[in-house]
Amino acid sequence: MKRLPLGKQHFELFFREDLLYVDKTPIIYKLIDGVGYYFLSRPRRFGKSLLVDILKNIFLGKQELFKGLWIHDKIDWKVHPVIHLDFSALEYEGLGLSAALMESLDKIANSYSLQLTKKTPKGKLSELIEVLSEKAPVVILIDEYDKPITDYITDLAKANENRETLREFYGALKALGDKIQLLFITGIAKFSRVSLFSVLNHLTDISLNEEFATICGITHKELVDNFEPYLERAEKKLKLPREEVLEQIKQMYNGYSWDGENFVYNPFSLLNFLNEQRFRSYWFKTGTPSFLIELLRQKKIDAKQVESLQVEDTFFDSFNIERGIAIEPLLFQTGYWTIKKIEYDNYFPIYTLTYPNLEVRRAFLHNLLEIYTFKPETTINSVTLKLRKALNNKDIDALEDQLNVLFSDISSHLFPFEKKAPDEERSKKEFLAWEGYFQTIIYIVLQYIGVYIKCEVSKHKGRLDAVVEVPNYIYIMEFKLEDAEAALQQIKDQQYHHSYQNSPKEILLLGIAFDQKNRMVKTIKQEVWDKKLNLG
């Protein structure tokens, strides 16, 4: 059987090493059938670089590489000069963006036995296009165009500097449209046209175009049709029937959509699973851009608000440096959210966004745990295992211990209150902030381990701080500063637990007290609700 193309981004290797390739050339043909200027946004590790390399080989006329593929006898294989710029390979961190661009353009020119005379990136690009187009219209392929900006997203001065360099650089393309056969640009973040692409107002964004929805990623049909030997191995390794294997793979790695209709697997995760035959989080280790983590740390996004979101069309064009970086569009563009469905309101589309699959949901929650608790991965992994065991075994002492592991050493600068405020007012403000922070961490960690939790639950006599469900127990939680008994009594006085009267599960009432000075769980008071006696 053909080997899996793990980590392979150069299409020639597929031919030379007889690697398995899922044939995307029928969709690719739509890009190359005539003159076109396109932009495609997809998350990292989603096959953008391989797609760009395939386009490069098509326009270089390397028909022999495509033997057995749909496109092999569909085009005339006319050779075009190709300018291929991979921004992830540019040494702009050391040289500066302008110098790195000029160095890359000089190398491309040398490959065509040319020597450029201009002294700016824009000048060199214009000169190169002018000379190469004397033979045939030029194909321009730009991969990861946004990396010089997103790498500095928390350093807005440098991000703006690089953005202005790119605006000037792309300005060369507008005046030379008659000499360009294809312009294809990929990236993660889609900056607003005013911000970056104002000089390329003829560029067609195909990121949400139904025709190109599956150009990257692997559909379920493609999985079944192309990976039979690996699925057979998975059946034997996991000791599960085929249908269950496919369903578990789908839950973990499928779910990405850019049109709300066609769904694809993350190719990086899927290929790694088929290779290792183990369900693990593959993508987020290498697919999470560092700039997203930094922004999440700065903005302290509320995890309870990102389970799903409904947006309009303008949402997808709202990545704009001048107005400040909004985290929500980034979550979509980096692959933590996807389009689950599209509905229409007076002919205008309304998009529902949510996590694409279990792998991504866990990855996002894991990142938030590290951000909120300042704990390393090893500590988080240990705590989450012990928390799950404590809840499933009704071990309240272990629950208290593990929560305090998460809360230990959280810097006091998270609660910057006005020193001149009266003690009573300061205490109230601090408690409210601490309670909210505490609830957020509780919410994140329990969601991460797959436990149902709902915070600030409205009841007929008030609002319950949290309710947590595991297979055999329901935990009714109320938080108080210093006084666990008062928290427990509030649950009973307000009868928060009575709505769970008909549940077959055992109901535990937990009054949780915070130690204000040490910022940790001081004590937990518990009581089992005897539904037969209707105690409480």
pLDDT tens for 429-470 read 666 666 677 777 888 888 888 888 887 777 666 788 889 999
Residue 395's DSSP bridge partners are none
Q: Which residue has the tokens 């043909």?
A: 29
pLDDT at 413 over 50: no
Give the Cα separation of 22 and 19 in Å (integer).
Answer: 10
What count of other Cβ atoms lies within 10 Å of the Cβ of residue 162? 22
For residue 184, list its beta bridge partners.
Answer: 38, 141
Question: Which pLDDT belongs to residue 425?
Answer: 53
Task: Return the closest-CA partner of residue 181 out of 69, 58, 67, 65.
Answer: 58
Q: What is the pLDDT of residue 289?
A: 66
Are the C-beta atoms of residues 529 and 508 closer than 8 Å to each other? yes
pLDDT at 50 over 80: yes
186 SS3 class:
strand
User: Which strands form 338-345's sheet, in the order they lie side by side?
Assistant: 308-311, 348-354, 338-345
Q: Contact at 8 Å (CB) between 301 and 336?
A: no
β-pairing, 348-354 with 308-311? Answer: antiparallel
- Cα within 13 Å of Cα(218), Cβ side: 23
Q: Which helix (H) or strand (E) holds 340?
A: strand 338-345
pTM above 0.95, yes or no: no
Per-residue pLDDT, 194: 41
In this structure, what token pair is assigned to residue 247?
A: 């369903």
- Model confidence at 275: pLDDT above 80: yes
As a whole number, mean pLDDT of residues 49-69 equals 97
Strands (E) across 23-151 are located at 36-41, 82-86, 138-143
Query: What does pLDDT average to over the chain?
Result: 87
Give per-residue pLDDT as tens, 186-232. Answer: 998 776 544 556 667 678 899 999 999 999 999 999 999 999 999 99
User: What mean pLDDT do residues 42-61 have?
Assistant: 96
Delineate the domains of the chain, giving CATH numbers in brackets.
11-212 (3.40.50), 218-372 (no CATH), 374-528 (3.40.1350)
CA distance 235 to 25: 30
Alpha-carbon span 312 to 310, nearest angstrom: 7
Q: How far is CA 15 from the centre of its chain?
A: 31
Residue range 117-133, pLDDT digits in tens: 999 999 999 999 999 99
Cα gap 484→106, rounded to integer Å? 70
pLDDT category of residue 358 using cuts at 50, 70 and 90: very high
Residue 290, pLDDT score: 67
- Mean pLDDT computed over 319-329: 70
**For residue 308, pLDDT beyond 70:** yes
